Amino acid sequence: MVSPLILVNLKTYHEGMGQNAHRIAAAAETVGRESGVVIGIAPVFTEIRPMSQHYAIPVYAQHIDAITPGAHTGHILPEEVRAAGAHGTLINHSERRLTLADIDACVQASRRLRLESVVCTNNDSTSAAAAALRPDYVAIEPPELIGSGVSVSKADPGIIERSVNAVRAVNPDVRVLTGAGIQSGECVKIAVDLGTSGVLLASSVVKADDPEAVLRDLVSLI
Ligand SMILES: O=C(CO)COP(=O)(O)O
Question: For this structure, is 93 an active site residue?
Answer: yes
Rounded Cα distance, 121 and 116, in Å: 16
Q: What is the per-residue pLDDT across 116-142, written as a single tens digit (0 to 9) for each?
A: 999 999 999 999 999 999 999 999 999
Strands 116-121 and 198-201: unpaired
Asked if residues 27 and 212 have their Cβ atoms less than 8 Å apart, the reply is yes
Tell me what ipTM this predicted complex has.
0.99
Residue-range domain boundaries for the chain:
5-218
Of 19-28, 72-81, 85-94, least confident by mean pLDDT is: 19-28
Q: State phi, psi for 59 to the nearest 5 degrees.
A: -110, 135
Please indicate whether residue 146, judged by its CB atom, sits closer than 6 Å to ligand 1.
yes
Q: Which of 9, 24, 144, 182 to mutate to test the pocket of ligand 1 (most atoms within 8 A of CB)?
A: 9
Give the torsion sign (CA, 153, 155, 159, 161).
positive
Asked if residues 3 and 36 have their Cβ atoms less than 8 Å apart, the reply is yes
Q: What is the per-residue pLDDT across 5-51, written as a single tens digit (0 to 9) for each?
A: 999 999 999 776 667 999 999 999 999 999 999 999 999 999 999 99
Q: Which of 183, 200, 207 to mutate to test the pocket of ligand 1 (most atoms within 8 A of CB)?
A: 200
Asked if residues 139 and 121 have their Cβ atoms less than 8 Å apart, the reply is yes
Please indicate whether residue 181, judged by its CB atom, sits closer than 6 Å to ligand 1.
yes
- Domain covering 5-218 assigned CATH 3.40.190.10 in the classification: no
